[in-house]
Amino acid sequence: MKLISRNAAKQSEIFGSVEETTEEEIKDMVNLAHDAYDDWSLRSMSERITILREVYDVLSENSSRLAELITKEMGKPITLAENEVKDTLKHILWGLDNAEELLKPEITYEDDEQMQKVVYAPRGVSVVISPFNFPFSLSCDLAFKNMIVGNTVINKPDPNLPLLTELLDKLFRSTNLPKGVQQFVYGGREIGDILVNQDINMICFTGNTKTGEHLYRVAAEKMIPILMELGGSAPGIVLEDADIDKVIKGMYGKKFSTMGQLCHALKRLIVHESLFDDVVNRLKEIAESQVIGDPMDRDTTMGPLVNEAQLSKLMEQLEDAKNKGAKVICGGNRPINGENYFEATIVTNVARDMRIWNEEVFGPVLPVVSFKTEEEAIELANDTIYGLGSYIYTTDVKKFERIGKRINTGMVGFNNVAYSAPYNPFGGTKRSGIGRTRGKWGLMYLCDIKTISYDKTV
């Protein structure tokens, strides 16, 4: 079976195809990964990092090629694709520069007779499964972090971007990275199921919550650790003292960047009643100024959604809201017939039984509701099964801290200050995942923590 590479902006245009990985090939890859682990895990971290710096350099030299394929296969405007590659390389470099210091052995106790030490040991063969929305970032950053700590990696990126995966495969193979340390699998859900049911030691998954729940059961049966960053429905609370002039553009971007296909995007806007009309009107003005078109054009600010399935689900969610009384303030249409584009859409008169409120909306549709009291805002923010990110807009630090403590998410942003950074942990609560990526916490999660006691009397 072949994976077909389609132009996200023109689905009838086919760029090429790649053969799907077979079950026998997967079994061979797992065996090779175990063999490679025996050597890779015993090398010093310094030696591993030296080799991985060469891989980093090769990826950096090919950043333009990577960004172009992201745009062509996924639909992200080229300027955003370039930013993804640039930011990911910064995250990878942070790991290469800091891991040795962060994961150095720690002495927990010592006297004249004994010494107790904690070391961070690799786990073994780690499977990395990533989605389409940040295809370079979510496959490569976790792969590097796994390899830094001594794990070997079998990497299955999203099947919507087979040519990007093929290019990454070739680039990794062109370096001096030992055979079997990092391998790529081509395929969708069925291939992923075959992969995770092999003799592996860890699963690292980024994607939707339903698939995450399935993989959680797989990991439980195997009694192996799992790292998951899943769906989100981030609330944005706009308090009555918010500086709207200062935050409105960033507020818009936190929802509509990457056409709303972002796990921790602002997906439910909760605005104080005194600011409601002003915020909605300003967001409408920004939404209607967007340039929808060819994502390879540098003037384009909104490209297509990745595929028809994403668009269909989004339209179903919006139609459900309209049927239940929601009001579409702007957008709500497919501007280019037959393709997967959708306008930036703002919706009011939103009720809690609407799908755009109680499901993750992975596209450019933003529900906006009002509140009177702080208590009501907090209750609305927490009214979700998800707990990834959240945003609070205010000019009062004490209010931010007071409310932030009560929002049940893994991350809370103050106005437009980004919490997504290489040195910060990234992850959520509730059905938004388990564990953390990034920062020292992300590195540690990929390790077995081992206690070693020394006899100092010999």
Kindly list the catalytic residues.
229, 263
Pairing relationship of beta strands 202-206 and 125-129 according to DSSP bridges: parallel
Q: Are 417 and 75 spatial neighbours (Cβ–Cβ below 8 Å)? A: no
Residue 109 and residue 119: Cα distance in Å, rounded?
13
From the list 136, 137, 142, the residue with the least C-alpha distance to 442 is 142
For residue 192 the two structure tokens come to: 């992923």
Whether the Cβ atoms of residue 441 and residue 422 lie closer than 8 Å to each other = no
Q: How far is residue 299's CA from residue 285's CA, in Å, rounded to a whole number?
A: 18
Phi, psi of 273 (to 5 degrees): -55, -30
Helix (H, G, I), strand (E, B) or coil at 319: helix
What's the CA gap between 391 and 48, in Å, rounded? Answer: 38
Query: How far is Cα 195 from Cα 235, in angstroms, rounded to an integer?
Result: 35
Give the Cβ contact number of residue 104 at 10 Å.
10
Structural contact between residues 247 and 393, judged by C-beta atoms closer than 8 angstroms: yes
Check: CB of residue 230 under 8 Å from CB of residue 212. yes
State the DSSP code for 292: B
Q: CA 97, CA 172: separation in Å to the nearest integer?
A: 20
Paired with 3 in beta bridges are 18
